[in-house]
């Protein structure tokens, strides 16, 4: 069969499916969830309200808001069979995201091909609600500490910080984390969302879709960047070293982690908002670290414009996500897991939506090797 197809590296600008979940406007520098500006949601709504928007397609009424928050808080504890295997997973030495993949895989769920909509939604709530608990428990077990049980009286973000540190966070820190979580829920047709939708298109269960997405998300070109962006700050060390370090990095053909975005050619709105959150935290508790991060961001942007002209390279969400999380007391190994606590909701909504299409995603590859019986040219 001869196929006349144009190959687009990275599938750039190829529309694979239709969605009602949200979109990114790369030229304008904005993104929305179901037609509502995501930054406006992050500054005016609770995490649980935005979660409801993803599941139900609309924002909740006040009574629904409280009911949904209580319902999801009650689902935070994983079943005992999963809880029991967490110490063994932690001892294996795998990373926290890899441990989440292993643990969630044990959760029974009906293939979405067969499941009615109500049970797809119920499974997605369960997976999303227990994800932070599993991640926090794995982190503590890796440190030789006992896991901390979730508290249903705390918001999702306060409970997350509590389960990691054992301390209830201040209101401002909890709010900063909550806004970060809301902005992490979804961001257009990114690589992990696509992965979740491929699994769903095959009729797989929601857990399989989430587990597949976790693997993609952990890559350094995707959600695995915030820890690496902070490593850049460590490696640069002092303001004097910004210029020589960046010049050397680019001369070696490497990338400055925390900069550049596949869609935005202007400032990433999440980076703008996270920077504002960092500045607010700085006002409450002055930090040399935040001052330094801002200096690095400004100088690196200038240098990338000179060394990589026309590529539109600015700080992305991962750069300031790392800075904010550090200030919230989240340990570095928990940066990528923190983003997963928000993103799991986006993966689930996308998987459920894709499963309704009932058409498997099955593109092609252009075969460029030798043909049977003919030597390679």
Ligand X SMILES: CC(C)(COP(=O)(O)OP(=O)(O)OC[C@H]1O[C@@H](n2cnc3c(N)ncnc32)[C@H](O)[C@@H]1OP(=O)(O)O)[C@@H](O)C(=O)NCCC(=O)NCCS
Instruction: Provide, rounded to whole angstroms, the least separation between the CB of residue 301 and ligand X.
Output: 11
Instruction: Provide, rounded to whole angstroms, the least separation between the CB of residue 8 and ligand X.
Output: 11
Instruction: Provide, rounded to whole angstroms, the least separation between the CB of residue 213 and ligand X.
Output: 15
- Please work out the total of residues on this chain that contact ligand X, with binding judged by CB under 6 A: 18
Closer to ligand X by CB, 17 or 265: give it: 265
Residue with tokens 């139900």: 56
Helix intervals (H) in 202-309 = 206-217, 225-236, 242-251, 269-284, 288-307
Is 83 tagged catalytic? no
Out of 187, 261, 282, 314, the active site residue is: 261
- Residue 94 in the binding site for ligand X (CB under 6 A): no
In the range 23-62, which residues lie near ligand X by CB under 6 A? none
253 three-state secondary structure: coil
Phi, psi dihedrals of residue 32, rounded to the nearest 5°: -140, 160
Instruction: Provide, rounded to whole angstroms, the least separation between the CB of residue 88 and ligand X.
Output: 32
- Residue 314 in the binding site for ligand X (CB under 6 A): no
Closer to ligand X by CB, 213 or 304: give it: 304
CA distances from 88 to 21, 83, 102, 325 (A): 37, 10, 11, 28
Contact segment (CB under 6 A) with ligand X among 120-128, 203-211, 310-318, 363-371 equals: 310-318
- Residue 361 in the binding site for ligand X (CB under 6 A): no
- Residue 189 in the binding site for ligand X (CB under 6 A): no
CA distances from 66 to 61, 342, 348 (A): 9, 19, 21
Instruction: Provide, rounded to whole angstroms, the least separation between the CB of residue 7 and ligand X.
Output: 15
- Closest to 108 measured CA to CA, from 208, 214, 213, 200: 208
Instruction: Provide, rounded to whole angstroms, the least separation between the CB of residue 295 and ligand X.
Output: 18
105 three-state secondary structure: coil
Q: Which tokens go with 95?
A: 């990373």
Q: Which tokens go with 87?
A: 């110490």
- Closest to 329 measured CA to CA, from 155, 158, 87, 149: 158
Helices 62-73 and 117-142 pack at an angle, to 10 degrees, of 50
Closer to ligand X by CB, 127 or 271: give it: 271
In the range 143-172, which residues lie near ligand X by CB under 6 A? none
Q: 82 has which bridge partners? A: none
DSSP output for 45-78:
S-HHHHHHHHHHSSPPPHHHHHHHHHHHHTT-SP
In the range 241-300, which residues lie near ligand X by CB under 6 A? 255-262
Residue with tokens 């110490």: 87
- Residue 218 in the binding site for ligand X (CB under 6 A): no
Closer to ligand X by CB, 41 or 225: give it: 225
Closer to ligand X by CB, 121 or 308: give it: 308
- Residue 14 in the binding site for ligand X (CB under 6 A): no
- Residue 318 in the binding site for ligand X (CB under 6 A): yes
User: Do 286 and 178 meet the contact criterion of CB atoms below 8 Å apart?
Assistant: no
Out of 48, 178, 186, 318, the active site residue is: 318
Of the residues 236, 317, 325, 351, which one makes contact with ligand X according to CB under 6 A: 317
CB atoms within 10 A of CB 212: 21
Of the residues 131, 316, 339, 355, which one makes contact with ligand X according to CB under 6 A: 316
Is 222 tagged catalytic? no
Of the residues 121, 151, 308, 332, which one makes contact with ligand X according to CB under 6 A: 308
- Residue 221 in the binding site for ligand X (CB under 6 A): yes
Q: How many CA atoms lie within 13 A of 28 on its CB side?
A: 7
User: Do 48 and 72 meet the contact criterion of CB atoms below 8 Å apart?
Assistant: yes
Give dist(CA 21, CA 344) in Å, integer: 14
- Closest to 58 measured CA to CA, from 18, 20, 19: 20
In the range 223-242, which residues lie near ligand X by CB under 6 A? 225
Instruction: Provide, rounded to whole angstroms, the least separation between the CB of residue 319 and ligand X.
Output: 7
Residues in the site for ligand X, rule: CB under 6 A? 10, 221, 225, 255-262, 304, 308, 311, 313, 316-318
Active site members: 261, 318
């Amino acid at each position: 069969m001869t196929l006349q197809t144009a190959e687009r590296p990275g599938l750039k600008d190829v529309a694979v499916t239709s969605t009602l979940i949200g979109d990114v406007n790369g030229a304008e520098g904005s993104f929305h969830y179901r037609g509502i500006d995501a930054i406006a949601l992050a500054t005016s709504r609770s995490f649980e309200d935005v979660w409801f928007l993803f599941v139900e397609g609309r924002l909740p009424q006040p009574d629904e808001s409280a009911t949904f928050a209580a319902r999801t808080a009650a689902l935070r504890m994983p079943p005992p069979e999963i809880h029991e295997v967490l110490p063994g997973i932690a001892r294996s030495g795998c990373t926290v995201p890899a441990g989440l993949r292993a643990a969630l895989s044990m959760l029974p769920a009906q293939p979405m091909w067969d499941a009615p909509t109500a049970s797809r939604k119920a499974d997605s709530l369960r997976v999303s609600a227990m994800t932070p608990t599993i991640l926090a428990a794995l982190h503590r077990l890796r440190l030789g500490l006992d896991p901390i049980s979730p508290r249903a009286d705390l918001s999702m973000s306060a409970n997350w910080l509590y389960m990691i540190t054992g301390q209830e966070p201040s209101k401002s820190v909890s709010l900063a984390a909550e806004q970060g979580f809301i902005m992490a829920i979804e961001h257009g047709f990114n690589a992990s969302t696509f992965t979740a939708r491929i699994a769903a298109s095959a009729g797989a269960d929601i857990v399989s879709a989430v587990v597949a997405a976790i693997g993609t998300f952990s890559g350094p070109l995707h959600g695995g960047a915030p820890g690496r962006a902070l490593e850049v700050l460590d490696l640069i060390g002092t303001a004097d070293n910004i210029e020589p370090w960046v010049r050397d990095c680019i001369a070696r053909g490497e990338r400055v982690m925390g900069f550049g975005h596949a869609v935005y050619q202007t400032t990433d709105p999440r980076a703008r908002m996270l920077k504002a959150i960092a500045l607010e935290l700085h006002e409450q508790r002055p930090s040399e670290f935040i001052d330094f991060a801002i200096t690095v961001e400004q100088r690196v942007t200038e240098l990338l414009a000179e060394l990589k002209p026309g590529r539109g390279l600015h700080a992305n969400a991962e750069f300031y996500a790392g800075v904010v999380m550090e200030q919230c007391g989240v340990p570095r190994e928990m940066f990528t897991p923190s983003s997963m606590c928000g993103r799991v909701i986006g993966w689930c909504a996308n998987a459920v939506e894709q499963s309704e299409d009932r058409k498997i995603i099955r593109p092609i590859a252009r075969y460029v090797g030798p043909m049977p019986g003919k030597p390679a040219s």
